[in-house]
Amino acid sequence: MAKPSDSKARRRKPGDAPIVAHNSRVKMVMLAAPCLAAVVVGLYGVLTGQSPLGGGIVTHAAAAAIGALTAFTLLQMAFDRKPVLIIDEDGITCRRPDVGTIPWAAVVGMGTSRATLLRKVLMIAVDDSELDDRARRHVRRRVGLFSAFSPGVARFEGQMTGRAMINIPISYFDVSLRDLERQIKDKVRYHGT
């Protein structure tokens, strides 16, 4: 006898399964490595009085402090097992940036593009009247520098003139970008966005 969950899985359409993305531990640790190197060099300069970075003890202490804080943040993100992005029947839930859930009714357009500083970004044009307060606050505070560094993002924003934009960095997820883009296309096609 088949379990009820088995029969549900067989009846699922391609867009039914949620897309769940976490930060990649490997990618985050690789980003933290240079920060840890700055900590070591900074502490070496502080403790020995030598000046490998140039400047004095204050410069080395600042390099060690900034490196430690950045490495701590990146390593914390690496070992946080809560999903960063969930795309399901309710909409798009994102923790970085922390916009909460963007309901499908608010999504006007979606796309992915290369962004110079972040490599790949998921671009979402939204109808801000359909957003909850948390997402609306994010949209109002958004700086919009992605388009300054990426012709693809600027082109998408130009096509969506007058729409609020939410950009989600996706390069550091634990799924391949090609697979994530394919899953997103299936989900968007299924939801009719």
Average pLDDT of the residues in 5-31: 73
Over range 21-26, report the average pLDDT.
93
| Whole-prediction pTM | 0.74
Instruction: Using alpha carbons, select from 92, 150, 148 the residue that is nearest to residue 124.
Output: 92
Task: Render pLDDT for 36-49 as a digit per residue (tens, 0 to 9).
Answer: 999 999 999 899 98
Report the candidate in 99, 43, 36, 45 with the shortest Cα–Cα distance to residue 73.
Answer: 36
Which residue in 100, 165, 108, 168 sits closest to 135, CA to CA?
100
pLDDT tens readout for residues 84-121: 999 988 889 998 888 889 998 999 888 888 766 557 88
Looking at residues 45-71, what average pLDDT do you find?
Answer: 88
Report d(CA 31, CA 1) in Å as an integer: 49
Query: Which residue ranges make up each domain of the chain?
Result: 25-79, 85-191
Of 2-6, 44-48, 93-97, 155-159, the least confident: 2-6
